[in-house]
Amino acid sequence: MADTAPKTQGPVRNIKAGDFVIIPFASSDGTCDFCHEGLQTACVHGGFFGNAGLNGAQAEALRIPLADGTLYPLAAPQDDALTASLLSLSDVMGTGHHAAVTARVGPGKRVAVVGDGAVGLCGVIAARRLGAEQIVIMGRYPDRLALAREFGATNVVSERGEEAIERVRELTGGFGVHAVLECVGSDQSMATALGIVRPGGTIGRVGVPHYEVIEGAQPTFYKNVTVSGGPAPVRAYIDELLPDVVEGRIQPGRVFDRNVGLEKVPDGYRAMDARESIKVMVTP
C-alpha cells in the first residue's frame, strides 16, 4: 500500500544555492509509486503551487516543497531564447507533449489541435516531433496560426462549431483524425473534439475543464474512442524533451511574446485575456 502520510521535509541534498533550475508547476517527492510511474502530478506527498499551479510561482521568492524531487537543475543558458524554451518545459511544452502522448500521436497519424494558445502551439511542436503526418491547427488568430505553421501545422481551420467539424472531416477524407489534442477546456472545444475524432481514435485533453460532464460522450462507446489526458506530469518529460530544446531542434520558447516585471503581472494577464499576447514571461 502506498504511503500517504505527510512526508517529513528533510535536508535538500541535490540542489544548491545558485543552481539554475526548471520548476514544474507541481511538487513531487520523486520516490512514491506515482513518481516512479512518471505521474508526478499524482504524487502522494506533492501538490500544486498556488491555484492549481497557475500563479503560485509568480513572486519574489518561493518555497519549494520536496525540492530534490521537484526541481530539475541544469547548466545556466547563455541566451534569452534558450531561457524561454527551458521555461516552457515547466508547463506549456510539457503540457502540449502530454496531450500528444495521451492522444497516442505517432508516425503517420492525422492530428488535430484544438486551441491556438501556448499549449496548443506546443502541441503542434509535440505532434510533429512524434511523427504525425498531418497536423490541423484549429484557431482564429492570424499571428498564432502563422506560428503554428512554422512549428509544423499542415492545415489551418478557423471555423467554429459544426463548420469546423465539417472542415476537418473534409481534410481527412471524411473520417476525422486519429488524435485530438484538446487544449482549451470549454464545452465547445470538447464538442469539437468529439466531432472530429475518427473511430478508434483518442482525445488527449489538457485544457482545464470548465464543464461538469462531457456532453454528447455516448458515441465514444460505439466508435471505440478513448478520452484521456489531465494535468501534465511535466517533470517526467524533461529528460526526453531537453536535448531537442538545447540543440535547437524545437523552440517552444517562441510562444513567449512579451516580458513583464513582477509589478506588471496584471498587465500581462490583461494582454493574454485580450489575445494581445500568446504567453507572457515574468522576469526580475
pLDDT one-digit tens code per residue, 126-154: 999 999 999 999 999 999 999 999 999 99
For residue 217, what are the CA distances in angstroms to 174, 187, 226, 227?
20, 12, 10, 9
> Considering the domain boundaries, does residue 64 fall inside one?
no
> Considering the domain boundaries, does residue 62 fall inside one?
no
Domain span holding position 218: 96-228
Return the C-alpha cell found at 55: 500563479
Q: Compute the mean pLDDT over every residue in the chain, rounded to the nearest whole number.
A: 93
The predicted structure's pLDDT at residue 129: 98
DSSP string across 81-102: HHHHHHHHTTTHHHHHHHHHHH
The predicted structure's pLDDT at residue 216: 85
CATH number at residue 171: 3.40.50.720
> Considering the domain boundaries, does residue 72 fall inside one?
no
Question: How many domains would you assign to the chain?
Answer: 1
Q: Which residues of the chain have pLDDT under 70?
A: 1-10, 50-56
> Considering the domain boundaries, does residue 18 fall inside one?
no
The predicted structure's pLDDT at residue 61: 83
> Considering the domain boundaries, does residue 268 fall inside one?
no
The predicted structure's pLDDT at residue 56: 61
Distance CA 275, CA 181 (A): 21
The predicted structure's pLDDT at residue 51: 55
Q: What is the pTM of this model?
A: 0.93
> Considering the domain boundaries, does residue 162 fall inside one?
yes
> Considering the domain boundaries, does residue 108 fall inside one?
yes
The predicted structure's pLDDT at residue 92: 97
Decide: 26 and 40 in contact? Cβ < 8 Å.
Answer: yes
